[in-house]
Amino acid sequence: MKYISTRGGMAPLSFSDTILMGLAPDGGLALPESYPQVGRAQLDAWRDLSYAELAFEIIRLFATDIPQADLKAILDRTYTAEVYGSVAITPVKRLHDGLVILELSNGPTLAFKDMAMQFLGNLFEYVLAKKGEQLNIVGATSGDTGSAAEYAMRGKQGINVFMLSPDGLMSPFQRAQMYSLQDANIHNIAIKGMFDDCQDIVKAVQNDHAFKSQYKIGTVNSINWARVVAQVVYYFKGYFNATSSNDEQVSFCVPSGNFGNVCAGHIARQMGLPVQRLIVATNENDVLDEFFKTGRYQPRGTANTWVTSSPSMDISKASNFERFVFDLLGRDGAAVAALWAEVDAGRGFDLGDKLAQMREQFGFVSGKSSHADRLATIRTVDAEDQVVVDTHTADGIKVAREVRLPGETIVCLETALPAKFADTIREALNRDAPRPAGFEGLEDLPQKVTVFNADADAVKAYVRQALG
Ligand SMILES: *Cc1c(COP(=O)(O)O)cnc(C)c1O
């Protein structure tokens, strides 16, 4: 299996080379030359596999340059009951009206990003050891990605993490989760500024090509192909968990920001998983809802991106969305490159003539949720089902209930646990969110963090000194 770019300008690459690359050299995103097809016989054979076994069957179709025994070993040590709290890894629960919640947030940082990031940590360590290389990750986070990356990379050979976060702007829980890590290869850098200032510094570091190659700088952001492919696995697992036979179809409802999670659902559907519809749920930052309703994609700047109570979806430029558009346009890289030239010029684009195809051929629909909807959903689910859901998952449940068709089974993806978003849970329920075992007293642990002004040179100097 070889990988090409959504903009058509990259010589095909192996899986191992693809996962160490950020953007493709032509500015596009990597995708396999074609999606492996999964037929009924394979679905039947896969239905009762454990999570790690299923992950192996799926990922080996994509990671063809990794010896199978090695891949199996990596997956066996990634998807364990010890890390995810249960043998099921991603159990489901059913609400009284039949909605299914797929639990994806039982990993070390209580958000679905652990599902892929834990795999990425083990995979990077393996690939780097094979190549005799080192990787120094410089990233920016507003909360969930940074902590998932740090917990996945802590103590790993050949990897250092320099994670920039906005000083004082994350929740106390999120701060404590990251800054309490004492591992020598994890570096927390708090920037006096906003998330966008952190992101600008990461871009400045990436654009300093001499620095980047001398210090082997890489990223772990949501466009990384290994993260997408690891997410494909739980769509299959969620399907098997929510149905009793491979004759059934389900729909998935996915809280979305960067389109990374639901992009994996699109790929699972293209592979042949019996998915009826893919429901994209946004918060007040509704660029994607606008696209699926009108065909118009108009990314917005930070001045028009609202700070909401589902903060991990406060995104107005969906980085993984380009992968879907590539498929929508019949995999025409030149056409995708032309559209993104419009995006880069601030104009966006209009695919209104493809609305029917998006719905009928690709199964996409969308909806949005507001702060008031979120509070109401958290209250209703708590009252009717005695389940406390987090703010992002609540956005998904709200939209799923709104668009549900008669007889449709909808699996709502749980993207975080409520303990991470304590303030909004208190606002909705007048009590504290349940805190999973092992997280008591997290905020009292000693913290390791260095504070800088929003200055890329200061960060580079720190990286240089830390790497000796
Ligand atoms: C990252 C994140 C999302 C958005 O996922 P995308 O892949 O960016 O669409 C939703 N909810 C939570 C809790 C997240 O951490």
Report pLDDT for 300. 87
With a pLDDT cut of 90, the percent of the chain lying above it is: 84
Report pLDDT for 372. 98
How far is the centre of ligand 1, averaged over its atoms, from the C-alpha of 94 (Å)? Answer: 22
User: Does residue 78 line the site of ligand 1, with CB under 6 A?
Assistant: no
Report pLDDT for 172. 86
User: Does residue 163 line the site of ligand 1, with CB under 6 A?
Assistant: no
User: Does residue 324 line the site of ligand 1, with CB under 6 A?
Assistant: no
Q: Any idea which architecture 92-109+225-429 has in CATH? A: 3-Layer(aba) Sandwich (3.40)
- Mean pLDDT of the region 366-386: 98
Report pLDDT for 218. 86
Q: Does residue 22 surpass a pLDDT of 90?
A: no
- Mean pLDDT of the region 133-144: 89
pLDDT digits (tens, 9 = 90+) for 311-338: 889 888 888 999 999 999 999 999 999 9
* Among protein residues, the one whose CA lies closest to atom 11 of ligand 1: 415
Q: How far is CA 145 from CA 111, 149, 170, 236, in A?
A: 9, 6, 12, 23
Report pLDDT for 367. 98
CA distance 28 to 25: 7
Residues known to be catalytic: 113
How far is the centre of ligand 1, averaged over its atoms, from the C-alpha of 461 (Å)? Answer: 32
Which is the closest atom of ligand 1 to the Cα of 256?
9
Instruction: Name the DSSP letter for residue 354.
Output: G
With a pLDDT cut of 70, the percent of the chain lying above it is: 100
Residue given tokens 């979120």 in the structure block = 374
Q: Does residue 420 surpass a pLDDT of 80?
A: yes
pLDDT digits (tens, 9 = 90+) for 261-294: 999 999 999 999 999 999 999 999 999 999 999 9
Q: Where are the chain's structural domains?
A: 92-109+225-429
Report DSSP letters for 267-284, one per residue.
HHHHHT--EEEEEEEE-S
